[in-house]
Chain A
Amino acid sequence: MHLKTSTLSNFDGSAELQSGNSKVIVSINGPIEPKPKQELPNVCSLEINLHPSQGLSTTRENLLVDKIRSILSSLIIKYKYPRQLISINIQIIRSELDSIIINNFENSPKDLKIFNFELSTILNCCYFALIDANIALYESFISIHSCIVNKQIKLNPSLEDLIECGSNHIIVLSIKDNQPNKIIFIDSKGKFSEKELLDVIDYNFNSAVGIFSEFKRLIDIKIDNDFVWKN
């Protein structure tokens, strides 16, 4: 996993994350003055734009944006910024999906399996960008993508794994004191039994500690860079 923060100097916060073969850049401006129609009297509003690596955004991107919005609105302390706007721009720079062109994702079960392919990287990148923009969060969070291939659970599946697998799951966990605390969001595609899903959740809870320690290492580097003038 490679992370660069504050890459875009004109934004309040930005992060560029490479995880596997996907590369995503997220920039955040906020809290800023909203348009009159966006203004809410006691909380801040969220504006999220998602740009795919190729072409224009389609219904797939719209659905992903809705998912991202539901996750981020439960984690950002919106009451701290009444009548303000937080604008989040997500650009997918590189994705394995580039190699195949899919016109309509909802058509076949095969397409559905790879529907969420970049979502996990996007969410993790959003976390770093929110930290960089100094937006108040209730809790830290991590997103884990896993799939079940031949009854084995595999983390960070590649595109081939997803096409072959029985089911794949994106789980967003909130982290408190280095331990996974709550399940914020689950999105599963494919055929699976209840036991398989519980197994996946168990597995992800166990691997969350290791993943978050990597996140902490990356944030520590960022903080050290931010306060370089103190040394």
Chain B
Amino acid sequence: MTSKIYPGETLPLQKDVNITLGPGAYKNPITQEIIPVSAGLLHCKTNKKQTNQLVYVETKSKRYIPKLNDFVVGVVNGTLGESYKVSLQEGSNNVLLSFMGFPNATKKNRPNLKNGQAVYARVSQDVSEIDIEIECIDPTTGKEGGFGVLDESGFIFEVSLNFANELLFNSSSIYFEKLSEKCKFEIAIGLNGKIWIKCGEGMKYDDNNELLPSSLNDMKYTVAAANYLKNCQFISKSQIDQSLKDSFKHLS
């Protein structure tokens, strides 16, 4: 069930069920009242046994607030003690990525990241009163699990947070299926709205930091794919084909 909701309205909550609050729902500690705090699409789901109800408001947002277990793309900004400072978004507080937050890292065998390098990581601690922490380990296996340093042959661009959420979690979304008709790509989607993408072999540089002529075509495809995905957040599903065509029209 989805409908539009505005801040402070009464939520359609059932009595005598366990209620789980998602983003956009807030329990006022003084009045103990549960209210929506933003305007957007209300989702209210009850499980089959009628024992649990989930309430959240889906909104468009550009500012990322870290939440536990979110996957994020960050840029290393410096070091602080035993940790790297990582920027998830311009203007926001830096988060910490411990030297130990990598698989098989020890005191002697620590990763060596430079300023400006991008990482794909998971938020491991989200208490907003203290510094947020991220790590590059899959907690279930203790191994890499797809996290780690994103190489420099890719390209990072930004989309709105709810669209990043859609791309990462909606397995039935057709955006990547359509894109795969045009080129081969590798992608890392951060819920902080940053997306890292690499088409083909990506952009390779020589020793003087100049783009190799052989990777020029891959660079064009990478930029076109990024433009296509950025454009998709402003159009309806029926226009996706046209947007794909427009983005790749100069490429063979």
Q: Do A and B come from one complex?
A: yes
The chain B residue sitting closest to A224, CB to CB, is: B4
Residue A119 at the B interface, CB < 8 A?
A: no
Residue B14 at the A interface, CB < 8 A?
A: no
The chain B residue sitting closest to A134, CB to CB, is: B61
Find A136's partner among B9, B38, B62, B93 (CB 8 Å cutoff).
B38
Find A174's partner among B8, B29, B41, B61 (CB 8 Å cutoff).
B8
Q: With a CB–CB cut-off of 8 A, which chain A residues contact B35?
A: 138-139
The chain B residue sitting closest to A175, CB to CB, is: B8
Residue A31 at the B interface, CB < 8 A?
A: yes
A219 to B37, CA, bound (A): 14
The chain A residue sitting closest to B62, CB to CB, is: A12
CB distance A223 to B40 under 8 Å?
yes
A174 to B6, CA, bound (A): 12
Given the interface contacts A138-B37, A140-B6, does A229 sit within 8 Å of B237 by beta carbon?
A: yes
Smallest CB separation, A28 vs chain B (Å): 9
Find B8's partner among A79, A135, A176, A228 (CB 8 Å cutoff).
A176
Residue A20 at the B interface, CB < 8 A?
A: no
Residue B39 at the A interface, CB < 8 A?
A: yes
Residue B80 at the A interface, CB < 8 A?
A: no
The chain A residue sitting closest to B37, CB to CB, is: A136
Q: With a CB–CB cut-off of 8 A, which chain B residues contact A30?
A: 63
The chain A residue sitting closest to B5, CB to CB, is: A223
Residue A201 at the B interface, CB < 8 A?
A: no
Q: With a CB–CB cut-off of 8 A, which chain B residues contact A227?
A: 41, 58, 60, 162
Q: Restricting to B55-107, which residues have a CB under 8 Å from any CB of A? A: 58-63, 65, 91-94
Residue B28 at the A interface, CB < 8 A?
A: yes
Q: With a CB–CB cut-off of 8 A, which chain A residues contact B162?
A: 226-227
For the complex, count residues of B whose C-beta is within 8 A of A: 38
A227 to B59, CA, bound (A): 9
Find B236's partner among A41, A42, A219, A229 (CB 8 Å cutoff).
A229
For the complex, count residues of A whose C-beta is within 8 A of B: 41
Q: Restricting to B12-71, which residues have a CB under 8 Å from any CB of A? A: 26, 28-29, 35, 37-41, 58-63, 65
Contact with B along A196-231 (1 / 0, CB 8 A): 000000000000000000001001101100111111
The chain B residue sitting closest to A222, CB to CB, is: B39
Q: Restricting to A28-61, which residues have a CB under 8 Å from any CB of B? A: 29-33, 41-42
CB distance A131 to B235 under 8 Å?
no
Given the interface contacts A177-B9, A228-B235, does A220 sit within 8 Å of B129 by beta carbon?
A: no
Q: With a CB–CB cut-off of 8 A, which chain B residues contact A140?
A: 6-9
CB distance B234 to A137 under 8 Å?
no
A226 to B39, CA, bound (A): 11
The chain A residue sitting closest to B23, CB to CB, is: A134
Residue B166 at the A interface, CB < 8 A?
A: yes
A13 to B40, CA, bound (A): 14
Residue A24 at the B interface, CB < 8 A?
A: no
Smallest CB separation, B170 vs chain A (Å): 10
CB distance A32 to B38 under 8 Å?
no
Given the interface contacts A131-B38, A134-B63, A137-B37, does A219 sit within 8 Å of B6 by beta carbon?
A: yes
